[in-house]
Amino acid sequence: MPQVTVTEHLLLHQKESPMASGRFTRLLNELILAAKIISREVRKAGLVDVLGFTGEINVQGEQVQKLDEYANKVLIHRMERSGVLCAIASEENADLVRIPDQFPKGDYFLIFDPLDGSSNIDANVNVGTIFSIYRTKGECGGDKLCDLLQRGSEQVAAGYFLYGTSTMMVYTTGRGVNGFTLDPSVGEFLLSHPDIKIPETGRVYSVNEAYWNFWDEPTKEIVRYFKGSDNLRGQPYAGRYIGSLVADFHRNLLYGGVFLYPADHRDPKKPKGKLRLLCEASPLSFVCEQAGGMGSDGARDILSIEPEELHQRVPLFIGSKNDVAKVVEIYAKAR
């Protein structure tokens, strides 16, 4: 396969798209540089002091891993200088990260989960970076939260980097989904998975069954459906759960399957489950829908949800459209 870089692919295949502008290409290239730097540290983890915890607790109430903090700092440092952003939001920062006055600003918003799957870092399991890009609505001064809080369907681009056996970038600008693999010998992400489509019915279900006793009855019925034989496959779906959303999602995107993180009654402070709408559910649902799949909170399309706050959590059912449709059907029947 000829070596097609991200920029070349964007300019070649999206020349009529507003996303082929120099400003968006610049944004993407800065994001790619940040991901290469993070990938380098992830690969050295264990040899450099990036394992373990910083000792802080983040806005999510989670213990911050050194690599969470490292990835967050690299992304903010690179992206605040890109000249194309009006503000940045991160899973690790309670509030919007303002662009310092000495740097030129633009009208894109970038939201990211700098390192997804942090609990797996010290065990050398795949982790990733998830990103989401909007244009400012410009109604509140252009760089305020109310300019950013938009439905997922308003995203201009979204995707993820996966630091796994190889380092991959998978993203969409609303014209399909393409996957690129980092060739470390040249330091470029090269097209390796053109025009990704997720199988309409999967063969994998991904859920943390440790929470069984905290689920409501319809949720238990849904998990029993995938574990049973009275389903679209006529046999149990394979159970796979890595504990890194981006890795579980990527496998299901390629093989077909459904990832489930239902609401549960473990923590009264998190009645909607653990995953975040803006930096996890929305970007992955944009990718999934562009690949022919679905992302739902069990009742609504994730991309239709009007966010009310920056770190809003949401139940997430995402993957093959027939499997997610079954989840929605079982919840609807119970209402």
- By CB under 6 A, the residues from 43 to 62 that bind ligand AHG are 62
Residue written as token pair 């996303």: 19
Instruction: Give the residue ranges of DSSP H helices in the chain.
Output: 6-13, 22-44, 66-80, 145-148, 217-227, 245-255, 282-290, 321-334
274 annotated to a ligand binding site: yes
**244 lines the binding site for ligand AHG (CB under 6 A):** yes
**36 lines the binding site for ligand AHG (CB under 6 A):** no
**69 lines the binding site for ligand AHG (CB under 6 A):** no
Candidates 30, 69, 80, 116: give the one binding ligand AHG (CB under 6 A).
Answer: 116
Closest CB to ligand AHG among 116 and 143? 116
**Could you count the other beta carbons within 10 Å of the beta carbon of residue 17?**
16
CB of 253 to ligand AHG, least distance (A): 14
8 annotated to a ligand binding site: no
Residue 186 buriedness (CB in 10 A; 0-12 / 13-18 / 19+) = exposed
Please work out the total of residues on this chain that contact ligand AHG, with binding judged by CB under 6 A. Answer: 11
Inter-residue contact 314 to 275 (CB < 8 Å): yes
Instruction: Give the residue ranges of DSSP H helices in 119-274.
Output: 145-148, 217-227, 245-255
**Could you count the other beta carbons within 10 Å of the beta carbon of residue 269?**
7
CB of 155 to Mn ion, least distance (A): 17
Q: Which does 274 bind (CB under 5 to 8 A by kind): Mn ion, ligand AHG, none?
A: ligand AHG
117 annotated to a ligand binding site: yes
Closest CB to ligand AHG among 3 and 124? 124
333 annotated to a ligand binding site: no
CB of 158 to Mn ion, least distance (A): 14
Beta strand pairing call for 204-206 and 258-261: parallel
CA dist list (Å): 287 to 10, 44, 50, 56, 152: 16, 29, 30, 32, 11
Interacting residue ranges for Mn ion, rule: CB under 5 A = 62, 91, 113, 115-116
Closest CB to ligand AHG among 106 and 202? 202
**113 lines the binding site for ligand AHG (CB under 6 A):** yes
CB of 243 to ligand AHG, least distance (A): 5
Identify which of 188, 189, 225, 180 has the alpha carbon closest to the alpha carbon of residue 207: 225
Closest CB to ligand AHG among 91 and 297? 91
Identify which of 253, 273, 267, 254 has the alpha carbon closest to the alpha carbon of residue 316: 273
| No. of helices (H) and no. of strands (E), the chain | 8, 15
Torsions phi, psi for 254 (to 5 deg)? -85, -40
Q: Which residues pair with 163 in a beta bridge?
A: 127, 167
**245 lines the binding site for ligand AHG (CB under 6 A):** yes
116 annotated to a ligand binding site: yes
**82 lines the binding site for ligand AHG (CB under 6 A):** no
- By CB under 6 A, the residues from 292 to 331 that bind ligand AHG are none
CA distance 164 to 161: 9
141 annotated to a ligand binding site: no
**282 lines the binding site for ligand AHG (CB under 6 A):** no
CB of 272 to ligand AHG, least distance (A): 13
**124 lines the binding site for ligand AHG (CB under 6 A):** no
Identify which of 46, 83, 85 has the alpha carbon closest to the alpha carbon of residue 66: 46
**117 lines the binding site for ligand AHG (CB under 6 A):** yes
- The piece of 46-54, 103-111, 220-228, 241-249 that touches ligand AHG (CB under 6 A) is 241-249
Binding-site positions for substrate read 116-119, 208, 241, 274
Give the binding site for ligand AHG (CB under 6 A).
62, 91, 113, 116-118, 208, 243-245, 274
Binding-site positions read 91, 113, 115-119, 208, 241, 274, 280
